[in-house]
Structure 1
Amino acid sequence: MTDTTTLFSPAMFADPYPIYARLREQTPVLHVPQIGVWLVTRYDDVQHILKSPELFSSERTAAIDRLRDPRLSEGMELLASRSLVSIDPPDHTRLRRLVNVAFTPRAIARLERRVRDLARELVDDIVRKDSFDLMEDLAVPLPVIVISELLGVDPARRTEFKRWSDDLLLGSRLDGHLDDAEIERIVASRREFIAFFRAMIEHRRREPGDDLLSDLVRAEAERDALSPEEVLTMAILLMIAGNETTTNLIGNGTIALLEHPDVLPRLRADPTRIPGFVEEVLRWRSPVVMLVRTTRRDVAVGGVDIPQGAVLGVLVDSANHDPTHFAEPERFDIERQSAHLSFGYGIHFCVGAPLSRLEGRIAFEELVARVPEFSREPGPLEWTPSFNLRGLKRLPLRRGAPVSAPASRGSTA
């Protein structure tokens, strides 16, 4: 596949999986000159890149920044240079060790009751309605409230958190399809986000609490383990990563239930299948589409020579559909024992994966048990136009069985 125009077409966002299949078969390592990125699509190559930080750096480089409008660089130097996801060892090792304590199995187990209470409250509101937006009423608020409470910030501001998070991710797009007004809005939103957390951190310095943000501030003040800028970038990263992935997981999982009507009764009859369902959702419609790496030196990937300093778009969403690793990859199978790459691999494996899995499991336990039947409102799905994440803007549903035949798979995949 040498024609790269389809990568920027509406079909790529609506249903990228046939495009991924052609890439894996014909051009598994594809240079896309429009954005200056090499796309890597096969499982073995993706896994190799993610587990080889000595060859493929996570650090942001000038090459990546050149791919975007220069106005969008404001604030990104800070977020890119000291973020846990965009640094290499030894700094990565140091920062990861500090934040790992919040996501140990024991720490996650302590959160289960609170996540359950929140999910029940949100589903309580859903069952009172004849129609609802799954994203607005469950998928967005649940993870935002959980990570807000964990960090110690006001969950009542979740609408702002969601907007800030969406804008930050929108501003990281590599395709450059943003007009002047949108760029100005994104930059202003980014300033608000950074200013909010700077004020929160200053408050925690004066009045520390029993929360993760206070722990990060204490690590800065008492142990000199974090710089002030690292505290800020860690807080912002956790706020974004703590809600976007799980929001997409819940939305994509609901689409899986709607497209595979045999699954819902099986989950209702045996809720112990829900963790397996969650894992298959993560593989089938990965919340994270692409990770970015930079080559440290000239290197061969999939038999293709790539120069030092090249930017790689590592397509985990495609890798999760590689038939050499997953039999009948387009088949949704909750019994599948899948080693998906949706949370990454190697030293950058998502630190919040246990929390995301917990929230996803509980959200579907409550939804499956308490909303016996639900169906989509008519109309196409509204996918967020992002190369990095796969999630829905909205998902209008109505309680009860479908009133008409479901949409064809091509319109919903």
Structure 2
Amino acid sequence: MTDTHDLFSPAMLADPYPVYARLREQAPVLHVPQIGMWLVTRYDHVQHILKSPDLFSSSRTPALEQLRDPRLTEGVEMLASSSLVALDPPDHTRLRRLVNVAFTPRAVQSLETRIRQLARELVDELARKDSFDLMEDLAVPLPVIVISELLGVDPARRVEFKRWSDDLLLGSRLDGHLDTAEIDRVVASRREFIAFFHAMIEHRRRAPGDDLLSDLVRAEAERDALTAEEVLTMALLLMVAGNETTTNLIGNGVVALLEHPDVLPRLRAEPARIPAFLEEVLRWRSPVVMLVRTTRRPVTLGDVEVPKDAVLGVLVDAANHDPAQFPEPARFDIERQPAHLSFGHGIHFCVGAPLSRLEGRVVFEELLARVPAFTREPGPLEWAPSFGLRGLKRLVLRRGEPLSAAASRGSTA
């Protein structure tokens, strides 16, 4: 496959899986000069890359230089160079050890009561409406509130947090360059986000509390385990990563129910199946589409020679649909128990995965128990125009109508 036009078409947002299939079959390791990347789509290659930090660096600086409008580098330099996701050992090992404490199974499980309280409040509120935007009313606010409370920042500012988070990630779009006015707005938004956390960190230095941000500040002050820049980048990363993946998981999970109406009665009858349902959602529509790695030296993937310092777009979404790993990958099957790669693999496996899984389970338990059957407005789904994430901009549902195959007629997966 030498024609890469499909990679940048509107149809790619709506349904990338036929393109992924052609890539896996014809060019599983493809150099795409337009974006300065090599795209990798087969499961075995993707898994190998993610579990081999000695061959493939997580440093994102070269990738950001290639992909982003240079005006959009302001506010992301720190995330590109010193955040947990962009570090290699030994720095990665040091930071990971510090933050792991907050996301152990026991620590995460202790949050369930509060998460359920929040989920019930939000679900009860939307259940009183004849129609509602699932993203705005549930999928966005719940994880933002949870990670805000965990960090010890004011969850009442969740609308700002969501805007800041979106703007921090903006830059790898599928729909072309941003105009000057939009770039100016994004840069100003990032400055606000960074200034907010600077102020929060300074406050924690003067008056530490019982929260994760205070723990990070103490690690800087008492143990010399973090630099001041690392405290800031860790706070920013947790705030962004702590809501984006779960928000997309919730929205994509509801789409799965709408497009596979036989699943809903099974989950209502046996809520214990919800965790298996979520794992299949993670495989079927991965909230994270692509991870980025850089080759430390020349490597061979399959029969393709990739040079040193090549930027790899590691397409976990394509790998999750590889028929060599998942028979009939287009089929949604909650009995599958998939070994998906949506939370990554190896040393960079998502530290927040237990929290995301818990939030997803509680949300669907409450949603299915407290809201009657629902349908969505007709028309195509509105996917956010991102090359790295797969999530909905909005998902307007109508309450109280029977869920059937007709409910999703005209939808685009």
TM-score range relative to shorter protein: over 0.9
Deviation, 1:67, is: 2.9
User: Per the alignment, in what secondary structure is the counterpart of residue 168 of structure 1?
Assistant: helix
TM-score, scaled to structure 1: 0.97
Report the equivalent of 1:312: 312
Residue 57 (1) aligns with residue 57 (2): yes
Deviation, 1:400, is: 2.0
Residues 69, 177 of structure 2: 8 Å contact kept = no
Residue 36 (1) aligns with residue 11 (2): no
User: Per the alignment, in what secondary structure is the counterpart of residue 177 of structure 1?
Assistant: coil
Residues 69, 176 of structure 1: 8 Å contact kept = no
> Structure 1 regions of 5+ residues with no counterpart?
none
User: Per the alignment, in what secondary structure is the counterpart of residue 190 of structure 1?
Assistant: helix
Residue 223 (1) aligns with residue 223 (2): yes
Residue 293 (1) aligns with residue 289 (2): no
Residues 171, 183 of structure 1: 8 Å contact kept = no
Deviation, 1:127, is: 1.2
For residues 347-381 of structure 1, give each alpha carbon's deviation from its aligned partner in whole angstroms, at most 9, with x where no partner exists: 00000000000000000000111112000012221
- Tell me how far apart the structure 2 counterparts of residues 120 and 401 of structure 1 sit (CA, whole Å): 21
For residues 304-333 of structure 1, give each alpha carbon's deviation from its aligned partner in whole angstroms, at most 9, with x where no partner exists: 111111100000000000000101110000
Deviation, 1:172, is: 4.4
- Tell me how far apart the structure 2 counterparts of residues 286 and 45 of structure 1 sit (CA, whole Å): 18
Residue 412 (1) aligns with residue 412 (2): yes
Report the equivalent of 1:166: 166
- Tell me how far apart the structure 2 counterparts of residues 290 and 397 of structure 1 sit (CA, whole Å): 29
Deviation, 1:402, is: 5.5
Identity of aligned residues (%): 82
Count of paired positions? 412
- Tell me how far apart the structure 2 counterparts of residues 150 and 403 of structure 1 sit (CA, whole Å): 36
> Which amino acid in structure 1 is aligned with residue 371 of structure 2?
V
For residues 228-263 of structure 1, give each alpha carbon's deviation from its aligned partner in whole angstroms, at most 9, with x where no partner exists: 000000000000000000000000000000000010
Report the equivalent of 1:153: 153
Residues 283, 320 of structure 2: 8 Å contact kept = yes
Deviation, 1:203, is: 0.4
> Which amino acid in structure 1 is aligned with residue 343 of structure 2?
F
- Tell me how far apart the structure 2 counterparts of residues 245 and 63 of structure 1 sit (CA, whole Å): 21
- Tell me how far apart the structure 1 counterparts of residues 79 and 26 of structure 2 sit (CA, whole Å): 36
Report the equivalent of 1:347: 347
Report the equivalent of 1:335: 335
For residues 197-230 of structure 1, give each alpha carbon's deviation from its aligned partner in whole angstroms, at most 9, with x where no partner exists: 0000000000100000000000000000000000
User: Per the alignment, in what secondary structure is the counterpart of residue 66 of structure 1?
Assistant: helix
Deviation, 1:186, is: 1.1
User: Per the alignment, in what secondary structure is the counterpart of residue 412 of structure 1?
Assistant: coil
Report the equivalent of 1:129: 129
Q: Map residues 22-101 of structure 1 onto 2, 5 A cutoff.
A: 22-62=22-62, 64-101=64-101
- Tell me how far apart the structure 2 counterparts of residues 407 and 63 of structure 1 sit (CA, whole Å): 38
- Tell me how far apart the structure 2 counterparts of residues 272 and 342 of structure 1 sit (CA, whole Å): 22
For residues 66-86 of structure 1, give each alpha carbon's deviation from its aligned partner in whole angstroms, at most 9, with x where no partner exists: 332111111222221110000
Report the equivalent of 1:211: 211
Going from structure 1 to structure 2, the CA distance change for 1:96 and 1:174 (only over 3 Å counts) comes to farther
> Which amino acid in structure 1 is aligned with residue 346 of structure 2?
G
For residues 105-128 of structure 1, give each alpha carbon's deviation from its aligned partner in whole angstroms, at most 9, with x where no partner exists: 110111000000000000110111
User: Per the alignment, in what secondary structure is the counterpart of residue 407 of structure 2?
Assistant: coil
Bigger mean CA offset, 26-35 vs 146-155: 26-35
Deviation, 1:60, is: 2.2
Residues 378, 409 of structure 2: 8 Å contact kept = no
> Structure 2 regions of 5+ residues with no counterpart?
none
Report the equivalent of 1:236: 236
- Tell me how far apart the structure 1 counterparts of residues 403 and 80 of structure 2 sit (CA, whole Å): 48
Deviation, 1:153, is: 0.3
- Tell me how far apart the structure 2 counterparts of residues 231 and 87 of structure 1 sit (CA, whole Å): 14
Deviation, 1:63, is: 5.0
For residues 158-188 of structure 1, give each alpha carbon's deviation from its aligned partner in whole angstroms, at most 9, with x where no partner exists: 0000000011111344875222122111111
Note the aligned Cα RMSD (angstroms).
1.4
- Tell me how far apart the structure 2 counterparts of residues 403 and 255 of structure 1 sit (CA, whole Å): 12
Report the equivalent of 2:370: 370
User: Per the alignment, in what secondary structure is the counterpart of residue 110 of structure 2?
Assistant: helix
For residues 90-117 of structure 1, give each alpha carbon's deviation from its aligned partner in whole angstroms, at most 9, with x where no partner exists: 0000000000000001101110000000
Residue 104 (1) aligns with residue 104 (2): yes
